[in-house]
Amino acid sequence: MEDFILFIVRYLHVLCGVMWIGILWYFNFVQIPSMPKIPDEQKPAISKVIAPEALFWFRWGAAGTVLFGMILAYMNGYIHEALTLQKPDIGFGMWMGLIMAFNVWFIIWPAQKIALGIVEADADAKPAAGRRAMLFSRTNTLLSIPMLFSMISAQNATGF
Amino acid sequence: MSKILQSLPMTIVAGIVLTVIMVFATNKLENMNQSGAEKVISDMIN
């Protein structure tokens, strides 16, 4: 029974991770590079409809990934060893995931709320918030490459 | 740093470089964390 619960937790961890990193890469590989090519009158379709919806699944995907990842590490008995880097193969990935989730909830989402006009802010604050969100979103894209390598190699590249 | 992050290709290259650094750091830390007996066995395997 414990093995089955472990499997379900791992499945939910990967499911949420695909949701999170998939939308992160959508923002960085598709939406941000496409915005300058979209006519001004059509931009609200992105900023008022698509981006807020994508940000909802993005931030809750991040939360779910961290939650199920922590439960998984605890159930497998290596949470302490990983976080103290006594088990660095998965530990580096966990720390990068935690930094990325922090960026999502405490930097990117608050900045996007200002940039997209979800909360009231000065007109000057919007471009600065948009730039901050973009830079931290790119930071997460950068970190996603070694983070995924760590997560997958820890389990599949034994003896690497 | 912000110049790298403004460019998507540069961000990807930086991510790959960080991955390589992480692999070396992982191997170094694993060697440091191994006990004497574990290290002998690990050296024999690798």
Name the residue of chain B whose CA is nearest to A145's CA: B15
**Residue A159 near chain B (CB below 8 Å):** yes
Is a pLDDT exceeding 80 seen at residue B39? no
Which parts of chain A are beta strand (E)?
none
Mean pLDDT by 10 residues, chain A (160 residues): 93 98 97 95 94 97 98 95 93 97 98 93 90 96 96 76
Global pTM reads 0.89
Name the residue of chain B whose CA is nearest to A148's CA: B19
Q: What is the pLDDT of residue B42?
A: 62
Range of the domain at A29: 2-156
Q: What is the pLDDT of residue A160?
A: 54
Binning pLDDT at 50, 70 and 90, where does residue B45 land? low
Residue-by-residue DSSP string for A113-145: HHHTTSS---TTHHHHHHHHHHHHHHHHHHHHH
Q: What is the pLDDT of residue A73?
A: 96
The whole-angstrom distance between B24's CA and the closest CA on chain A is 10
Q: What is the pLDDT of residues A108-130, one digit of tens each?
A: 999 999 999 999 888 889 999 99
Q: Is B35 helix (H, G, I), strand (E, B) or coil?
A: coil
At position A22, the amino acid (one-letter code) is: G
Domain boundaries, chain B: 17-46
Within 8 A by CB and 6+ apart from B31, the residues are: B39, B42
Q: What is the pLDDT of residue B1?
A: 83
Of A76-80, A91-95, B5-9, B30-34, which range is least confident?
B30-34
Which helix (H) or strand (E) segment is A93 a member of? Answer: helix A88-103
Token output for B46: 């690798």
Burial of A99 (0-12, 13-18, 19+ CB in 10 A): middle
Q: What is the pLDDT of residue B46?
A: 56
Contact B8 A159 (CB under 8 A): no
The whole-angstrom distance between A1's CA and the closest CA on chain B is 32
Contact B8 A29 (CB under 8 A): yes
* Residue whose tokens read 């997560």: A151
Q: What is the pLDDT of residue B43?
A: 62
